[in-house]
Amino acid sequence: MNYITDVIAAVSTPPGKGGVAVIRISGEGALAVIGKCFRPLSGKPLKDCPTRTQIYGHIFDREGTTLDDVLVCYFKSPASYTGEDTVEIYCHGGILVTRSILELVLSHGARPAEPGEFTRRAFLSGKLSLTEAEAIGTLLEARSEAQIKLMAGPARERLAERIAKIRASLVELLSSAYARIDYPDEDLGDFSDSEMLSALYNIKEDISSLISTYRTGRAINEGVLAVIAGKPNVGKSSLYNLLVGEDAAIVTDVAGTTRDVLVRTVPLGSTLLRLADTAGIREADALDKVEAIGIERSRRYMSECELLLAVFDLSRELDTEDEALIQSIAPLDCTKIALLNKSDLEGRLDTERISGHFDAVIYTSAADEAGTVSALTEAVNALFTDGKIISGDGAIVASARQHASLLAALESVSTAYESLRGGFMQDAVSSDIERALGAIAELDGRAVSEEVVSDIFSKFCVGK
């Protein structure tokens, strides 16, 4: 399949009945394809009409019968989303008429676009970096306002600019080192050793600064695995339903109602939670076989989570099951929040015994759902996101791929810096600078593998 020369087409609006549907055609022969089925009302061929202007006319089938009256806009290469000649058809949004027009376009020489192929062509033509393309894909699946803000145009551009700045600095250093290697007696390098050392330090700090934003970016974009744990009948499933926004878990006063782990992805303020409701933890001799399996799964999720929401009944004194839960939580390497439930009742729980084991303690109650959500939102956002980063105008790293590339670049730059500071010559550290530049090239897509590119764009919808 030739991604460069094929003419591709797809419906770019969601399926179903609506006021308007958009069909996008892109490729070198896009004008020829639309010319076989579109007649402007003015009588002029579309190629003679103004570009980037909606032209009114009719779509007609092979027998010359009008299918729909439409608006068509022609974007001439390279001034288009894909960088290619692109035509967009704005037709009535009926399911049958949209499908009929798309099938007509395909019969005139276009082929169906693959998921994300329009954006992939934009990347291949240099209209977008890979980080910008990734952000667009995430924007389509956004689950929270913070995610939208993180992936919006200005934020994408800020990250691309920071990466471009780091790359330009590395290229400048490497050029200087190469000049010294090729002409050692003529001192052609732009940087003295002290100047290169200072430049490497600044690059190292710049990369480290970007890496430090990943905890916030990851919490917003990829989400945090959060597990609700506690003994039976303390209100775990009620909390789960409250955060999910529906009765996803069965709630009864019968201990052991929850037998399996339920998982939903839900936004909580700026943070995205992969929220798991687990079976109540209690002594094994009180269980049937099914509940025992559920508790084993609960313990496994607890050992893997990034955020543990431990629920306690504030109206009761601590018992052996509460103590056992506290002891099992202590060695876990995760952020821990204690939720003291039923705070509208008389408190009997020894809160001092609990507070020392948790990063935050929150009082919750079914009688004050809004207060519960507000308090938990505030605590989670404070623990997992940096409000200054979110509200500021800096770049934020939001994907594991970007983070890994930056870590690799930082390692190489740090090695070059320490080697040069230790007395090595510039030619000796040039290989480390090369490796750092390679890691940055993988980050922005200049040297990324086809496998990575395909994986990124496979997550896009058809038509984008």
Number of other CB atoms surrounding residue 199 within 10 Å: 19
**Contact assessment for residue 12 and residue 23, using Cβ atoms and an 8 Å cutoff:** yes
Q: What percent of the chain has pLDDT over 90?
A: 38
Of 414, 436, 435, 417, give the one whose Cα is nearest residue 426: 417
Cα–Cα dist 395/64, whole Å: 53
For residue 331, what are the contacts with CB-CB under 8 A and spacing of at least 6? none
Q: Is the pLDDT of residue 43 over 60?
A: yes
Domains of the chain as residue ranges with CATH: 8-129 (3.30.1360.120), 133-213+395-444 (1.20.120.430), 219-385 (3.40.50.300)
Q: Is the pLDDT of residue 289 over 70?
A: no
48-57, 85-94, 180-189: least confident range: 180-189
Residue 251 pLDDT grade (very low, low, confident, very high; cuts 50, 70, 90): very low
For residue 319, what are the contacts with CB-CB under 8 A and spacing of at least 6? 231
Q: In 78-117, which positions are buried (b, 16+ CB within 10 angstroms) versus exposed (e)? A: eebbbbbbbbbbbbbbeeebbebbbebbbebbbeebbbbb
Torsions phi, psi for 58 (to 5 deg): -130, 140
316-338: average pLDDT: 88
**Contact assessment for residue 119 and residue 84, using Cβ atoms and an 8 Å cutoff:** no
Cα–Cα dist 45/63, whole Å: 19
Q: Is the pLDDT of residue 95 over 50?
A: yes
Of 328, 331, 309, 321, give the one whose Cα is nearest residue 284: 321
Terminal Cα distance for the chain, rounded: 18
* pLDDT tens digits, 411-460: 999 999 999 898 888 778 888 998 999 999 888 766 555 665 666 666 66
For residue 441, what are the contacts with CB-CB under 8 A and spacing of at least 6? 167, 447, 448
pLDDT score of 254: 40
pLDDT score of 82: 93
